[in-house]
Each structure stands twice: as structure tokens, then as C-alpha cells.
Structure 1
């Protein structure tokens, strides 16, 4: 089911991109679509009555353990207003040493997706700086299995299968460095409760090849902390991100 939702989400993003192309020339709206690759270190954990299970995948092993991923952003702007949607789908599996001598290994596999949607308003602008404030939501869905292989103790599997939506607020700043180069910073925070929090930081350097194409590179950190059936589930990713943007 999660994979079907992932492909559906990707289809919705792509349909929005191509569905608006024909009307772009007939309105004051401008659009851009970005495909990007996020190559993070991933940490995910769940606290249970039997103890904490914590799986970690390093940046160097991320591509080797990746089963499937799709990551894309669609943005539309009109004057000071803009809309932004960021979708991420990841299917990963990896192993770590088990917690203590009782277990041989901890095998972690997950299918995770999240969709962030924002409405932003430009509160400040001059020739070199633009500042937007944003509000919206972040939807997160995961199917995660933590499997302790047998050691001196029997093996067991703990599964986390849930989805939820948090409100988020954020800010985006864009700095013009030269005719071709700009820098962008984006931060947000959401959830606003002890049993559900999320936040992220995204920093990129952007190079305009021409009026249509921009390439981007930078760093991203994103975190989720949510209580599921009385257990604390955490998920975070951090690492380099590269992408290409088409404007129309």
C-alpha cells in the first residue's frame, strides 16, 4: 500500500507540473519544478517497553542500501505570494550491530514518505535579499520494521505502521550573490506538541545556467518525533542534496 501511495504522490506532483504548463503563459503566475537527490545519513528509532531499537544508515552506505526513491518539488508564485509542495519517497533496508550481547544484529527496513505544503508571503525584498514567511502542513507516513536476529536471546520484530499530519510554519531567505549565483536558506518547525514535532533546515547554493534551468547543491536536515501507541518514534535524515530546477 505504501508503494502505491508513493507512486500516486509522485503522479500527483508530476500531473500538477505538466497540467499547469499550458496555462503558465496566460496568467501572472510563474512556475518551477525541481527533481533532487537527497543522500543522507538516516537514523530511526522506537522506544518500547522491551527497550529502544535504533537503526542508523551512514551517508557512505545510503546509495548501496537504497531500494527506491523519488524526490521532487513544485512551486508557483504570483507577486508576493507563492505556493510550494515538496514530496519525498524512500525505500531503504540496512543492518547494524544489535544492542548488547543478547542480539546478533538489528535489521531495519522502512518505506517512508512525506509531503510538505506551504503558502508563503514575501515580507521583504530589495535587489539582493528576499524574505518570505510560510505556513502549511507536513504529512508523514512510514512502514518500518526493526528485526533483532537471534543471539543469546530470541529474535523479535517490532513494526511501526502509521501516518499523520502536522501544521508547520517557516521562513525562506534568498540572497543574490552575482548574475548567476544565489543562495537560499529555508527553515521550518511544526507539530507544536510533546507527542508530535517536526523541523528542518535546508541550505543551497544555486547556479542559473540560463533563464530556464538552475542547478542546486547544499545540505538538508529533517526530523520527525511522534508518539505511536504510547511509544516514541523518531526519524531523521541529514546530508548533501543536489537538484535541477526548470522554470516556466
Structure 2
């Protein structure tokens, strides 16, 4: 997520004003909260049955162990850099009814049809979108940045499963796996001033193209309020979608919800 670049006049920047030092970098950091829900399908380990996921923000919050979201932007003249990083750790405990037979890592035998399965999944997700680009439109009424880069994904799951069936009695196994991939990205980012201190910020990216995931995209629309040269706040809505299915791993999910950020510029 990227947020407003504040300025003395209350606009995201003063595009027509000549900077004091055109070679100097300006930067900003935005820690933010993302009240995201989660929907889609995942496999907790390689070649495992694919499980449907449908969680509201309250469900995600109930499973949350910890996490954080931060965005960093830097600009020199018309050249821009962006880094958006998030980390989320959750524990999801649930029971499943009778399942088709499948092989569970750590048990060494196939769980027979009709077995009752209780599972606990500790998941960690790290995502970093790193991009660089150029400000193609730079006016007091509108700015537009075009960027390219990559989104790095790392998913780690620790699964504890207890299976019960007359043929196997009760067996418990633990298994940990992690997988990662990199998606190329193309993105745009725009600012539209509404008043001296209030402006609209919109950005979107698309990527994957089969190089990492089948496809991925994200979007953000936010309203920003500038308090001072260095401090601004924003509220908006963010969506992140990814469809990854490779090597027996499935991670096909959509995360979406409101965001609230506080930006410090230096």
C-alpha cells in the first residue's frame, strides 16, 4: 500500500515548484492496518486435498498470532521507488468429517475413506512488492506514476493432524512445509487533489503471467488528509488477489478490506 506524499501547500506534492536540490531523494514511510477478509482455496501441504477458505476479518483476527504492514516510497525528480511489505502469522484449528483417502506426511500410510480428521494449521505469510518507475504526468492537478517490479511470496505451514478410523485407530502427525515464488508486476499510481489538504490516491498492479503464479493483481483506492509537511493519514480499501498452483501447492486466494494508514515524510 502506498500513501500520500505531503507538501507545504497541502497537496501530495508541488509538481510545478522547482525542488531545492533536484538530485536529492525524498522518502516516506507508512505503517498501516488492513482489516482484510480471506476467500479462496489452499492446500496445507504439497499434494494435499484442496480446502475452501472463507473468512471475514473477525475470523482472521480471531486466528491472528501477529503481523504487520508497511509501505515505503522514495522519489528523486521524476524517478520513484516503492516497497510494500506484509507479514501475517495465524493459527487455524478445525475439524473435518469423513474424507477421501489421502497420504499424510509423517504418518506413512493412507488415511482410509470415512476417517475423521482434526487439523491445526500454523501459517506464516510474507509478501514484498518491490517496484521502480517514472512520473509520466506531473502537474498541480494530477500526477501519474508508471512502475514495474516484482512481488515476492513466501508461505510456511506447520500442520498437526489427528486422524481417527477403526482401521487405523487414532494417529497424530506433524508436518511442516514452505514454498515461495516471485511474480513480475506492472503498476500505475495516481493522485488527484480534491482540496488544499484532501486528495484521492489510486493505484493498481497486475502480474504473475505464469512466471510465478498464474496471475496476481492488487488495487487500492484511498482518501488522504495532510496534517503538515511531514504527516498525513489515509483511509481506503485494498484488494490483493493471487492464483498459484504449481508443484502440488495451491494458494488461490483473495484478500480484501478497509485500510487505515499514517504517513511520515522525510
Q: Identify the TM-score tier after normalising by the shorter chain.
A: 0.7 to 0.9
8 A contact 1:55–1:95 mirrored in 2: no
8 A contact 1:195–1:225 mirrored in 2: no
The alignment of Structure 1 onto Structure 2 pairs a total of residues equal to 225
Q: Secondary structure at the match of 2:58?
A: helix
Per-residue deviation, residues 76-127 of structure 1 (Å, max 9, x unmatched): 1112111011111110112456376764655443100011111121122332
Q: Counterpart of 1:68?
A: 66
Q: Which runs of 5+ in 2 are unaligned?
A: 1-20, 100-114
Q: Counterpart of 2:146?
A: 133
Q: Counterpart of 2:222?
A: 204
Q: Counterpart of 1:21?
A: none
2:265 and 2:37 map into 1 onto residues whose CA distance is 30
Q: Secondary structure at the match of 2:50?
A: strand
Per-residue deviation, residues 9-33 of structure 1 (Å, max 9, x unmatched): xxxxxxxxxxxxxxxx995211101
2:197 and 2:205 map into 1 onto residues whose CA distance is 27
Is 1:173 paired with 2:171?
A: no
What is the RMSD of the two structures over their aligned residues, measured on CA atoms? 2.8
Q: Counterpart of 1:245?
A: 263
Per-residue deviation, residues 171-192 of structure 1 (Å, max 9, x unmatched): 1111101111111111111111
Per-residue deviation, residues 44-72 of structure 1 (Å, max 9, x unmatched): 63357663223333212333321111211
Q: Counterpart of 1:183?
A: 200
Q: Counterpart of 2:84?
A: 86
Structure 1, 126-135 or 231-240: larger mean CA deviation: 231-240
Q: Which runs of 5+ in 1 are unaligned?
A: 1-24
| Structure (1 or 2) with the larger CA radius of gyration | 2
Consecutive aligned runs of 4 or more in structure 1 exceeding 6 Å deviation: 151-158
Q: TM-score, normalising length from structure 2?
A: 0.73
Q: Counterpart of 1:46?
A: 42
2:190 and 2:66 map into 1 onto residues whose CA distance is 32
Q: Counterpart of 1:4?
A: none
Q: CA, structure 1 residues 62+230, in 2 after alignment: closer, same or farther (shift >3 Å)?
A: closer
Q: CA, structure 1 residues 79+194, in 2 after alignment: closer, same or farther (shift >3 Å)?
A: closer
8 A contact 2:22–2:76 mirrored in 1: no
Is 1:35 paired with 2:31?
A: yes
Per-residue deviation, 1:228 = 3.5
Q: Secondary structure at the match of 2:61?
A: helix
2:58 and 2:134 map into 1 onto residues whose CA distance is 38
2:74 and 2:97 map into 1 onto residues whose CA distance is 47
2:38 and 2:124 map into 1 onto residues whose CA distance is 13
8 A contact 1:56–1:96 mirrored in 2: no
